[in-house]
Amino acid sequence: VSPSTTAFADAIHLEPQLDGTYAGLVDGGWTIGGKPNGGYLLAMLASAALEEVPHDHVLAASAHFLHSPDPGPISLTTEVLRVGRSASQVRARLSQDGKPCIEALLMIGTLDAADEPHWAGGAPAPSGVGPEECLRLPSTGPTGVHVAIMDQVDLRLDPESLGFASGRPAGRGELRGWLQLPGADFDPVSLLYAVDAFPPATFDVELSGWVPTMELTAYIRALPAPGPVRILHKAQLIEADRVDEVSFVWDSRGRLVAQATQLAGIRLGR
Amino acid sequence: VSPSTTAFADAIHLEPQLDGTYAGLVDGGWTIGGKPNGGYLLAMLASAALEEVPHDHVLAASAHFLHSPDPGPISLTTEVLRVGRSASQVRARLSQDGKPCIEALLMIGTLDAADEPHWAGGAPAPSGVGPEECLRLPSTGPTGVHVAIMDQVDLRLDPESLGFASGRPAGRGELRGWLQLPGADFDPVSLLYAVDAFPPATFDVELSGWVPTMELTAYIRALPAPGPVRILHKAQLIEADRVDEVSFVWDSRGRLVAQATQLAGIRLGR
């Protein structure tokens, strides 16, 4: 971790409070145009949920984004919905100044490093060039927005996905590339950030302003191996000022470790 | 609606109670092996949420399944999280005998029949044969389980997806076909059932017992035209006794009207 970056674990650090809630701080470095990344915030909610139940890893997280918090203090509350033998469920809420910002449901269980895929025939295969042939995104985006988070993480896009940067999107709605955290490897919690880390996949169709996440559901499928993760972020349908995007995250062994779907707001063609 | 079927609207009917909760009845006809379909239950949660806010249609629903209720009385509670100009968010819980069964987060907004896709280049195109060339699934499934719900709905699979019925799954993890409700057209609420209506897509890989939904997230993208809907239900990765499945639902005009992803439990190869 260089002096200018905040480790992910520090950026999501929570302090348990005497009343059973958790206090956290939205880090100004983990923002896009001054607003925190949604997956980064979801990782905070998962951290709080993990404190509440006997299992070790987040397996599924579904979040509805109500209001974007600003950098600064936040509060998290949790409610254990069920404690099971192999998995438990927790509801969690992130609020700022008493205003609910994110409501999430989380399934917590335990992943075993020895597990192997039984059948992976329906998932896309990892594709694209290696990280050394990708280009790192700068913190000044093509829309002029300051993307502070790009000074934290090493996010590299495949040259074939970079048409948007020169005003020539490929029109496929697909961004491929790699992601690495500052000075740390991924774990199930930080994979919740990975699924939402890429620029809007719609940039490969048409540039726009902020594409705010309304709903984000992520599944963590395996413990990631050390090293950067490969990501495919893909838009499916843009209609009525909303777009759905799917993400696939593979670890350095090529194993699918996380998947996600999100519904986001978008303004185009007006 | 024939004498032997219960209309979907009746099967999800709720009675508002004086204490602000809703009372409902899980219909024994809408079950698989005696357990209600998860999408059918999610439609009940959406119905309750719709009563609470000024908007007309469910746009997104994320549900975690804690405990499967039996046919019989259930209770629904709601909490409005946010009321916005174009969309509102509601949390809803379905309980039976005081035990929480499903916890869901719902985004409610308004769909306009005049909306058209702006870009649909990342979504699969509808494919497969028409309903008249598909075969209707009977209420006795290939695993011997009584699938009562197949006497309610008209669910037809493409002959290419029916290998599992004769012990010869194609191995693609894909089921294609059509769905129609008894005596009614689809609306956004009943599309929440449509995304979860098909048999497990894993049947096209390997037959198994019950594949219980753990998490289900659905996006309703457009108001469906009258008539049956075309469905693609697809498994992606089976690992550690869990599988993720995606669903795409097209209306009779060929418009993508709903999408969903789910994480489910599965026992194979042991």
What ipTM, to 2 d.p.? Answer: 0.97
Which residue out of A78, A215, A232, A250 would a mutagenesis test of the B interface target, given it has the greatest number of B Cβ atoms within 10 Å? Answer: A215
Average pLDDT, chain A: 95
Q: How confident is the model at residue A268 (pLDDT cuts 50, 70, 90)?
A: confident
Average pLDDT, chain B: 95
Candidates B158, B49, B170; CA nearest to A121 is B170
| Residue A2 confidence (pLDDT) | 60
pLDDT in tens, A223-240: 999 999 999 999 999 999
Does the pTM surpass 0.90? The reply is yes
Residues on chain A touching B64 (C-beta within 8 angstroms):
60, 62, 81, 89, 105, 107
The partner residue sitting opposite B239, judged by closest CB among A117, A174, A236, is A117
β-bridge pairing B154-157 and B213-220:
unpaired
pLDDT in tens, A43-82: 999 999 999 999 999 999 999 999 999 999 999 999 999 9
A185 and chain B: CB distance < 8 Å anywhere? no
Q: What is the DSSP letter of A77?
A: E
CB contact under 8 A, A64 and B107: yes
Tokens of A242: 């909303």
Within 10-49 of A, beta carbons closer than 8 Å to B belong to: none
pLDDT in tens, B29-43: 999 999 999 999 999
A169 and chain B: CB distance < 8 Å anywhere? no
The partner residue sitting opposite B235, judged by closest CB among A60, A122, A221, is A122
